[in-house]
Amino acid sequence: MSTLTPTRAPHDEGARTPREASDAGRVGGGLFDPKQLLRSLPDAVRKLDPRVMVKSPVMFVVLVGSVVTTALAIKNPGDWFGWAITAWLWLTTIFANLAEAVAEGRGKAQADTLRKAKTDTVARRITGGDEERVPGTELRVGDLVVCEAGDTIPGDGDVVEGVASVDESAITGESAPVIRESGGDRSAVTGGTKVLSDRIVIKITTKPGETFIDRMINLVEGAARQKTPNEIALNILLASLTIVFLLAVVTLKPFAIYAGADGQTSMIVLAALLVCLIPTTIGALLSAIGIAGMDRLVQRNVLAMSGRAVEAAGDVSTLLLDKTGTITLGNRQAAEFVPVKGTTGAEVANAAQLSSLADETPEGRSIVVLAKERYGLRERHQGELAHAEWIAFTAQTRMSGVDLTENGEERKVRKGATGSVVAWVKENGGHVAEDAQALTDTISQAGGTPLLVAVQDGEGARVLGVIHLKDVVKEGMRERFDELRRMGIKTIMITGDNPLTAKAIAEEAGVDDFLAEATPEDKMALIKREQAGGKLVAMTGDGTNDAPALAQADVGVAMNTGTSAAKEAGNMVDLDSDPTKLIEIVEIGKQLLITRGALTTFSIANDVAKYFAIIPAMFAVAYPGLDKLNIMQLASPESAILSAVIFNALIIIALVPLALKGVRYRPTSADTMLRRNLGLYGLGGLVAPFIGIKIIDLLLSLIPGIG
């Protein structure tokens, strides 16, 4: 491995979070819940507006075809075939719009939930040292407002004074309150959340109507969803195919006249042929696939600022992951008590436990627990040592401990950094075991943190041993990194630790590389180097010092607990503030791209099969040799064409659940994925129309006058 080292308090039960609202939309009847379909149907009809349909060239052609066949059917009202084709072409158009309307409907349900969290509040603005009450809508960037327990925060901003407990359950869905304080990386607050305790002063950072909740509402509704570069490119491809098939169908008319088969190529038949040959399936589902990708992120409490970010996540080839809280638990835990020569592990454990009774840090509590579990030492409490003098840890002494009297004998116990404890022992006339330094060096080289334990009693001052503190790697991280490696993604751990510690953690976690003693400049330089090699880079961050790197990364995921600067710089915000979610975001992005590719493959394969259903039936009379291509032996030309049109409409509805749910993603190589998609969706797209059209043809043949 190389180194890159540069030398919710309980909330209102009536309110639901975006994730809960999205989940609720799938309860019961699922995607085809009649109520959900009925709610979406008016939107699907409204989308028949040509100004809306023209945004999708393929479906706009279907709309024009529907209008043309309608006019021809009205002109010849006794032509049942014309009316049947017209009805199914209109259904095809409505079904296509319904797919998008259902996807948007789920977003609107989430937006309605967010609107409940958005309230018009009265703000206590500080003006010239005095407070004045003003509507929240009158606040401007830079205004200072005061919020106390029970107040609703009137707008997005940063805490500049004080510390408070805040209920963010209306946005994140987490019932546990969070702490927001001035300074540091946990100062950002969101308008619409509620202060539960204490008093804070907030500096407003957004204009009314541009708050975090406003942006969320616009995004989940789809109002701010712009087509991604890949989506635009695919639309251009589909439009090009449509033009090619349009020209091909237009030329069929003169050929039919020349062959004496003009009766088989009426305008209604040609319109039906065109709709069946152009890629209507993917044209109908393309927008729904993009909306569903954003929806899947919202379900996981991730807000994507653009569809481009979701798509970029699917193409990411380098992941930058912060060590603390992402790869490791973030709290060092006691792993072992190592005695020096002449002492025992039990002696070290007893002294370490005593010196940690007043230490309420996670490290201190883990020492007490390990001593109890490993050596059976009863967990004592401060109350049992009424006359003990507790020595608190300070940055100056870098030690903590206790002075007490046991069995009439005075005893002092200390634990802390190696240099500080050694100096304390020597100051008290004691000696340091020869192997103490070697033990601490061994632990440091293994990626751990050594704490020396020393005691002063009747035998003098001396070092008893070393506590091995270990930054525990989260369970399952190695397996997840193995998955990412199979996906072709390089993982780089970023940490402020020294190179030795960073190397040990990186090897245990299974990341590909690491950047130790990282500064903001180092992160930026690393991202630029990766991007210069043609790679897309993703990273997480929460502090102001992470903002430049988040802005530079192709996918920058800012933590909701972080600063406003970080959230503005990134193109995604994780409402749960879980750095490991970056891995899920990459998987969702890849699922979006795979779904789009799979359904495009299926759609084009469908067109090939429908060609063999319609063309032979149309020209078999004029060119008997074409009857050999009529491999399905359809009942009649009318039945063949109508069966293909009906199948073309029904397959859109059948594929809506797949478009919204997404094709299941499995970590694998690009070659394996391509072969699987071609085999499943390519071959399936060829076979399904033959089966479906034949079944529909058999059913139509039972109707008098058609067969």
Q: Which of 20-24, 61-65, 607-611 shows the lowest per-residue confidence on average (mean pLDDT)?
A: 20-24
List, in sequence order, every residue forming a beta bridge with 43; answer none if it has no partner.
none
Known catalytic residues? Answer: 322
Q: Which of 375-379, 523-527, 684-688 shows the lowest per-residue confidence on average (mean pLDDT)?
A: 375-379
How, if at all, do strands 537-541 and 555-559 pair? parallel
Q: Which residue has 């004045």 as its token pair? A: 132
Residue 426 · residue 394 · CB < 8 Å: no
Strand ranges in 274-327 using DSSP code E only, listed in sequence order: 302-304, 318-322
User: What's the average model confidence in pLDDT over 286-311?
Assistant: 79
Q: Give the separation between CA 555 and CA 212, rounded to whole angstroms.
A: 19
Q: Give the separation between CA 1 and CA 509, rounded to whole angstroms.
A: 12
Helices 57-75 and 280-299 sit at what angle, rounded to 10 degrees? 130
Give the C-alpha distances (Å, rounded to integers) separating 210 from 107, 144, 157, 544: 19, 18, 12, 21
Q: In the Cβ-directed half-sphere of 664, how many Cα atoms lie within 13 Å?
A: 3
Domains defined along the chain, listed by start: 34-106+221-296+588-702 (no CATH), 140-207 (2.70.150.10), 302-326+474-575 (3.40.50.1000), 329-472 (3.40.1110.10)
Give the C-alpha distances (Å, rounded to integers) separating 511 from 268, 322, 483, 638: 61, 11, 11, 62
Q: In the Cβ-directed half-sphere of 27, how many Cα atoms lie within 13 Å?
A: 6
Q: How many CB atoms lie within 10 A of CB 327?
A: 29
104-113, 585-594, 625-634: which is most confident? 585-594
**What one-character DSSP code corresponds to residue 1?**
-
Residue 381 has phi, psi (to 5 degrees) of: -125, 160
Q: Which of 214-223, 410-419, 595-604 shows the lowest per-residue confidence on average (mean pLDDT)?
A: 214-223
Euclidean distance between the first and final Cα of the chain, in Å?
Answer: 71
Q: What is the pLDDT of residues 244-287, one digit of tens each?
A: 888 888 887 787 777 666 655 678 888 888 888 888 989 888 88
Look at residue 91 in the predicted model and tell me its pLDDT.
92
Closest alpha carbon to 367 in 392, 349, 388: 349
Higher pLDDT, residue 377 or 467: 467
Closest alpha carbon to 614 in 593, 634, 587, 589: 634
Closest alpha carbon to 216 in 136, 297, 98: 297
**pLDDT band, residue 20 (cuts 50/70/90):** very low
How, if at all, do strands 328-339 and 460-473 pair? antiparallel
**pLDDT over 90 (residue 520):** no
Closest alpha carbon to 357 in 387, 401, 394, 414: 401
Q: Which residue has 């401060």 as its token pair? A: 382
User: What's the average model confidence in pLDDT over 353-374?
Assistant: 83
Q: Which of 87-91, 156-160, 444-448 shows the lowest per-residue confidence on average (mean pLDDT)?
A: 444-448
Residue 285 · residue 655 · CB < 8 Å: yes
Helices (H) and strands (E) in the chain, counts: 24, 21
Whether residue 400 is annotated as binding a ligand: the answer is yes
Residue 639 · residue 700 · CB < 8 Å: yes
Rounded to two decimals, what is the model's pTM? 0.65
* % residues pLDDT > 70 (the chain): 83
Whether residue 546 is annotated as binding a ligand: the answer is yes
User: What's the average model confidence in pLDDT over 372-393?
Assistant: 72
The SS3 of residue 498 is coil
Look at residue 114 in the predicted model and tell me its pLDDT.
60
Whether residue 399 is annotated as binding a ligand: the answer is yes
Residue 25 · residue 107 · CB < 8 Å: no
Q: Which amino acid does the sequence have at 424?
A: W
Length of the chain measured in residues: 707
**pLDDT band, residue 93 (cuts 50/70/90):** very high
Higher pLDDT, residue 228 or 557: 557
Q: Is the dihedral of CA 567, 571, 576, 580 positive or negative?
A: negative
Q: Which residue has 């359809």 as its token pair? A: 634
**pLDDT band, residue 69 (cuts 50/70/90):** very high
Q: What is the pLDDT of residues 654-670, one digit of tens each?
A: 888 888 888 887 777 66
The tokens of 481 are what? 């990194």
Q: How many CB atoms lie within 10 A of CB 347?
A: 17
Look at residue 26 in the predicted model and tell me its pLDDT.
38
**pLDDT over 60 (residue 565):** yes
User: What's the average model confidence in pLDDT over 472-482?
Assistant: 81
User: What's the average model confidence in pLDDT over 450-454?
Assistant: 91
Residue 401 · residue 415 · CB < 8 Å: yes
Look at residue 4 in the predicted model and tell me its pLDDT.
45
Residue 508 has phi, psi (to 5 degrees) of: -65, -40
- Neighbour-count burial for 531-552, b at 16+ CB within 10 Å, e otherwise: eeeebbbbbbbbbbbbbbbbbb
Whether residue 577 is annotated as binding a ligand: the answer is no
Whether residue 225 is annotated as binding a ligand: the answer is no
The tokens of 277 are what? 């040959």
3-class secondary structure per residue, 322-358: ECECCCEEEEEEEEEEEECCCCCHHHHHHHHHHHHCC
According to DSSP H, which parts of 29-79 are helical?
Answer: 34-46, 50-53, 57-75
Look at residue 89 in the predicted model and tell me its pLDDT.
93
